[in-house]
Structure 1
Amino acid sequence: MKKVLVTGGAGFLGSHLCEALLERGYDVLCADNLFTGNKANIAHLMGSPYFEFIRHDITFPLYVEVDQIYNLACPASPVHYQVDPVQTTKTSVHGAINMLGLAKRTRARILQASTSEIYGDPEIHPQTEDYWGRVNPLGYRACYDESKRCAETLFFDYHRQHRLEIKIVRIFNTYGSKMHPNDGRVVSNFIVSALKGEPITIYGDGRQTRSFCYVDDLISGLIRMMESPEGFTGPINLGNPEEISVLELAEKILMLTGCKLPLEFRPLPMDDPRMRQPDITLAREKLDWHPRVSLEDGLKETIAYFRKLIA
């Protein structure tokens, strides 16, 4: 039985990943400092003899024995990562160094949950893995964007210098149950506002585009990447290539919730990307992976989750 460490394991993606790994017969160690993670996300797993939770901040070394490491620890929404931008950078950079050091000592295979934000406000569309990005290193989003870029650099340097088995995944917008209701992400914002009968707030004119991947599809891609042949390191895009404008998303959520509410438009935040769409050709070829859950079906599941949460 493989022993797997999931950092950020009590968060949105991490908790879903812990569930999926347990279902596949792995022995799972979940590490999280609970800054944005929530024990409620993993409470139902605590009774399993093959699941263990440790409260830990990966900016400090962690001494455990594992076969695989999924490094997901880092606040991922602007509302959270801009609260303490210095700590955000430390989590991505110092955290990567500590997890890579652990992988080096245990000879574990390690996967880095990188992000589509490393592409910044892109000049090419859709975004392919060989695009170097267009990121403002001085802006309010830079603590997240640039630290994730630096983490990718560290992963490849450890791979070249210490022959570590690394995997790098660039995650595009993902949604589903266990999202934080106040994380500032567009899907959760729109759903929570609709269910509370509040106006839907749109930043900018709403014509900026995003691509939304349901969480079950994303988790499947992460596991497939971890289990892919040793020589394939990535980076690889994981996301849904179906593109939709923010305004269209708001209208779809209002339709699915049965609400009729006004739209409020506010200025676009600094460095907010105008376009975001993954090219997943590499994921199709190397992992035989593509999203299977439609946006409408995924939104229905997510709305049902938030209805229970708000009630």
Structure 2
Amino acid sequence: MKKFLVKRIGYMLITLVIIITATFYMMHSIPGDPLAHMARNLPEQTKANYYAKYGLDKSTTEQYGIFMKNLITKGDLGESLKYPGTYITDTLLENSRVSATPGGLALIIGIFIGVILGIVAALHKNKWPDYIVMFIAILGITVPVFVLASLLQFVFCVQLGVLPTTGWGSWKNVILPTVVLSFGTIATYARYVKSNMLDVMNQDYILTAEAKGVSRFNVIRKHVMKNAFLPCMTLLVGQVSGIFTGSFVVEKIFGIPGLGFYYINSINDRDYTMIIGTTVFAAFLFVFVQLIVDIAYTVLDPRIRVD
């Protein structure tokens, strides 16, 4: 296990370096100057001081070296170009907590309901419960989140007036974003659990257990569930990272000051440091969750070989 962890952590670090390097150079390859609009009316000396402060008077390679040195030695992602005095690390920590509230609730609710619907669909294949679940799954995958969000806003905010349209700070502001974000998770897990359960239920060892007289309930509880749910853990990698960075459309619609909201604003403002910092955070979260899932696989299923 120790060798496995060292190897996986090594791969994780290499992946992060590649992502950081690619993001840094791609951002700096965009034509134009991120400070040109802000500093165009300033005196030349003041403008020069701004460029020197953010290192924009140096070559891209020198800027990259300084960025990596600060990141490795201090964990410093730099200062926002758009909002001087605002440090990227502080912004990430503050806004990621906001994103985690509706996103985390949506993930928990989505997995719980999706797994139940997937089980129901698998146990009633080609019957009306299966058709209903698959219809819900198709809607969850095909209906864009902005359409669902707008529809819910119209019904519950405009027509019924029971929930606020936008804003943050009250538990009522969490309800609609959570529902919108959980819909896709429900659809994904319902389809995935159904497919995995049907595949496991057709395996020879399941048919043998049933032939020996083991009740269907015990077969499903002891054999089908574990083997069907294990592959579903892979979905968690994208789902967890999506809590913070993949919900920017929902955050924009509902006016939630989360990480995705600021990520979009930083792109519009050409705030290089904020874009790079958010990308680094999302990449780290993705590879870290992947590491946890790999470890969980080896613990839950002894058949998986640890190299």
TM surpasses 0.5 = no
- Between Structure 1 and Structure 2, the one with more helix by share is 2
TM-score range normalised by the length of the shorter chain: under 0.3
Q: What TM-score, normalized to structure 2?
A: 0.22
* Greater relative contact order (Cα < 8 A, sep 6+): 2
- Between Structure 1 and Structure 2, the one with more strand by share is 1
